[in-house]
Amino acid sequence: MPRECGRVSERLDECEVGRIVDVLHEFARRARAARSRVSCWRLSDLPPFRRASAFYWASIAEFLAADPAAVLGRLAAANDRDLEGEQKRAWEEEIRVLRGALAGVTGTLYLEFDVPRLGSRIDAVVVAGPVIYPLEFKCGEREFRRAHYEQAWDYALDLKNFHLASHAAPILPVLIATEAARRDRTWSPPSADEVRAPIRCGAADLGAVLQHGLTLVGGSPLDGVAWGTAAYHPTPTIIEAARALYARHSVEAISRHDAGATNLRVTSVGVEEIIERSRDERRKSIVFVTGVPGAGKTLVGLNVATRRRELGEARAVFLSGNGPLVAVLQEALTRDEMARPGNTERKGAIRQRVKPFIQNIHHFRDDGVRSPDAPYDHVVIFDEAQRAWDRRKTSDFMKRRKKIASFQHSEPEFLISYLDRHIDWAVVICLVGGGQEIHDGEAGISEWFDAVRASFPGWRVYASPDITDSEYAAGHALDGFAGDPRFVLDRRLHLAASMRSFRSEKVSAFVKAALDCDMSRARALLDDVLRRYPIAVTRDLDRARQWIRDHARGSERYGVVASSQAQRLKPHAIDVRVSVDPIHWFLNDRHDTRSSYYLEDAATEFQVQGLELDWICVTWDADLRHHRGGWRHHSFRGDGWTNVHKPDRRRYLLNAYRVLLTRARQGMVIFVPPGDAGDPTRLPEFYDETFAYLRELGIAPI
């Protein structure tokens, strides 16, 4: 090789090899198209080319002209696992079926197209004319199963929502049971976003199905090559994110790449830099990462924990006081590891491996109480740090449950002291949500600042300038750091854009304005939100349930939520005193009566905080009532409602509804009961003003 070309790296990773192969393939395609002879060329002569996220891609004409063995070879070469006989036979069958079905079709074919948010690949995608066909093959199957049908639909929806070149294109998914003798007669009408329900057919009918689809859609042909290299901007749920990160995907691979996700990456890098600086300088630091609901604070924490879990003393442990979140994530990761091909481990053994990755903060605290030693971990991430217990609640718990009468620390103070036992360095990362305190005894973020200022003068404090916002309730605690060189402001530590609702980033802002009774701002925000994020209100719970079922497609998850103080929904068969198991509610399928899909058991703010569903029915009881431009706060005691006077308890109740109203990723319906004039605990006037207020904001009734 000539010297001026530089050295070739001794080791190319899979992505680099794949890019070189695809660039060469693209160059050859362009050269053939131009009918030119090329004797000398450089890669830099080519326009920038982004690798398609597929094992194989080619024009349909090239695919039909290729040797099937060569196509199979490219699939096998791109596969990162040993090619098993079953997979090889499936690919051979798919290639055979596609060679017959694509005769007479012009376009581009992708095989094993990557869907990183779902952690899987679409068997085939055909881009023909103005249409995108995601194809899901079930080789050897004679029947169409519900799970396979939802899988095909999920792929179509994922492309529509997260793949840039698919946003405006008609998507017609196909489920092929290769041995099936029957097929659906025709395509269903398109939804508003131009995604049709999957059509089911056998191998023999696939060609006719594709040709029929082309007659239903008009418009300009898509550029198949540009489609395959377009950006993919996923917005995973926290469960999907934990699964992907634990499986060693990067946060960049599973998150959007717009302004919100750029902020996510910038924040992750900022936190990593502080950790490395603290280790190099043998310094102790506490870092506050703030953000609006759904901005990705937990995702930042999980990303740091997964990237550092095998770094010895510099590894990080993810802690949360949110018991349901810990339980759901541990179970999700355990199930995911159990389902991996070739796994032979028992579920119990896998769970033991998963537990150190995500731990309950109270168990971590108890370890520090039992032993005088420093923890093994030098980097500790506290999720929802604003919910740590104040001194009164911690002392009371230790006295009653642990029989330690002399314990006189708040949870933040003790947890910092536990890390302070390290003689060299330590980093505490606090993930802080605004307006998320929902329970008596939750200290808020000010307790962490008070603890550092009063008891740990050697610790450096990093926070965003946004920490001063009233939403984070840092209050007077920041005054003690005025002019203190230990206090470092870093704008990278704030996540300003919500990523929970990929349909509208302004949902959390709308909810805040609505709960603040800022009608003009709420109305203005709602106009923008409703363009892509449907919100409805009703006095009929059955209509609310049907609204959710009508909007959900594929395996999109939905459920009913209610305030933990909503004691008078029992006439509507919603009893919040019956606690749901969050593992079954969030993870089990629609055939399990304990799952959210059944729309029977309502989860409260305590079970859903930090988690999310696609569609939600928020049931609004008389505990929080709109009245004359403000809110009246109530608690049900004995046989009637009582007024709530304590400011903290009022704040917890308002925050409970803030949590409930920001759980849905795609849309929500709000059920406000009509009341009953014959029941003094459910009088219509308890509910009417709330319903009228929601209508005044611009929420349409159903």
Q: What's the number of domains the chain is made of? A: 4
Q: Which two tokens stand for residue 628?
A: 């004359």
Query: Could you tell me the pLDDT band of residue 74, with boundaries at 50, 70 and 90?
Result: very high
- Decide which of 228, 249, 271 is a domain's last residue: 228
| Residue range 386-445, pLDDT digits in tens | 878 888 888 887 887 777 877 878 888 999 999 999 999 999 999 987 655 455 556 677
Do 56 and 44 share a structural domain?
Answer: no
Percent of residues, the chain, with pLDDT higher than 90: 53
- Residue 527: inside a domain, yes or no? yes
Q: Which of 91, 184, 187, 180 is nearest to 133 (CA)?
A: 187
- Residue 200: inside a domain, yes or no? yes
Residue with tokens 């903060």: 361
What is residue 308's predicted lDDT score, i.e. its pLDDT? 76
Query: Could you tell me the pLDDT band of residue 48, with boundaries at 50, 70 and 90?
Result: very low
- Residue 501: inside a domain, yes or no? no
| Residues in Cβ contact with 23 at an 8 Å cutoff, skipping those fewer than 6 apart | 43, 46, 49
Q: What is the CATH number of the domain that holds 300?
A: 3.40.50
- Residue 518: inside a domain, yes or no? yes
Do 559 and 489 share a structural domain?
Answer: no
Do 197 and 176 share a structural domain?
Answer: yes
| Residue range 295-332, pLDDT digits in tens | 778 888 888 887 776 666 667 788 888 889 889 988 98
Model pTM score = 0.75
DSSP state of 196: P
Do 82 and 40 share a structural domain?
Answer: no
Calculate the alpha carbon distances from 301 to 78, 307, 320, 426, 455 in Å.
32, 10, 10, 16, 26
Do 200 and 150 share a structural domain?
Answer: yes
Least confident span in 22-36, 64-78, 144-158, 559-573: 22-36
What is residue 14's predicted lDDT score, i.e. its pLDDT? 37
Spatial distance between the Cα atoms of 469 and 109, rounded to a whole number of angstroms: 51
- Decide which of 51, 75, 93 is a domain's last residue: 51
Q: Does residue 239 or residue 213 have the better pLDDT?
A: 213
By DSSP bridging, strand 284-291 and strand 379-383 are unpaired
- Residue 233: inside a domain, yes or no? no
What is residue 579's predicted lDDT score, i.e. its pLDDT? 86
Residue 258 has pLDDT above 60, yes or no: no
Do 253 and 369 share a structural domain?
Answer: yes
What is residue 506's predicted lDDT score, i.e. its pLDDT? 85
| Residue range 439-488, pLDDT digits in tens | 555 667 788 888 998 899 999 999 988 887 765 656 566 766 777 888 89
- Residue 367: inside a domain, yes or no? yes
Environment class of residue 191 by beta-carbon count within 10 Å: exposed (0-12), middle (13-18) or buried (19+)?
middle
| Residue range 581-618, pLDDT digits in tens | 999 999 999 999 999 999 999 999 999 988 889 999 99
Least confident span in 7-11, 81-85, 222-226, 240-244: 7-11
Residue 103 has pLDDT above 60, yes or no: yes
Calculate the alpha carbon distances from 420 to 271, 412, 428 in Å.
19, 12, 10
Report the chain's mean pLDDT, rounded to a whole number.
84
What is residue 508's predicted lDDT score, i.e. its pLDDT? 87
In this structure, what is the dihedral angle of CA atoms 608, 609, 610, 616, given to the nearest 10 degrees?
50
Residue 117 has pLDDT above 60, yes or no: no
Spatial distance between the Cα atoms of 464 and 432, rounded to a whole number of angstroms: 11
Contact 538, 670 (CB under 8 A): yes
Least confident span in 472-476, 482-486, 505-509, 668-672: 472-476
- Decide which of 33, 51, 69 is a domain's last residue: 51
Do 128 and 176 share a structural domain?
Answer: yes
Question: How long is the chain?
Answer: 702
Residue 239 has pLDDT above 70, yes or no: yes
Question: Where in the sequence is the domain holding 659, given as residue range(s)?
Answer: 507-701
**Type of residue numbered 347:** K
Least confident span in 167-176, 282-291, 341-350: 341-350
Distance between first and last Cα of the chain: 72
The arithmetic mean of pLDDT across residues 66-76, rounded, is 94
Per residue, what are the HEC states of 255-287? CCCCHHHHHHHHHHHHHHHHHHHHHHCCCEEEE
- Residue 502: inside a domain, yes or no? no
| Residue range 262-281, pLDDT digits in tens | 577 888 889 999 999 999 99
| Residue range 136-174, pLDDT digits in tens | 999 999 999 999 999 999 999 989 888 889 988 999 999
| Residues in Cβ contact with 86 at an 8 Å cutoff, skipping those fewer than 6 apart | none
Do 302 and 186 share a structural domain?
Answer: no
- Residue 176: inside a domain, yes or no? yes
Q: Which of 85, 75, 66 is nearest to 113 (CA)?
A: 75
Do 590 and 448 share a structural domain?
Answer: no
Residue 60 has pLDDT above 70, yes or no: yes
Do 400 and 252 share a structural domain?
Answer: yes
Instruction: Produce one character per residue of 473-496: b if its CB has 16 or more CB atoms within 10 Å, e if not.
Output: bbeebbeebeeeebbeebebbbbe
Do 515 and 473 share a structural domain?
Answer: no
Do 82 and 15 share a structural domain?
Answer: no
The arithmetic mean of pLDDT across residues 493-520, rounded, is 82
Residue 204 has pLDDT above 90, yes or no: yes
Helix spans in 170-296 (H)? 206-216, 224-228, 238-246, 251-254, 259-280
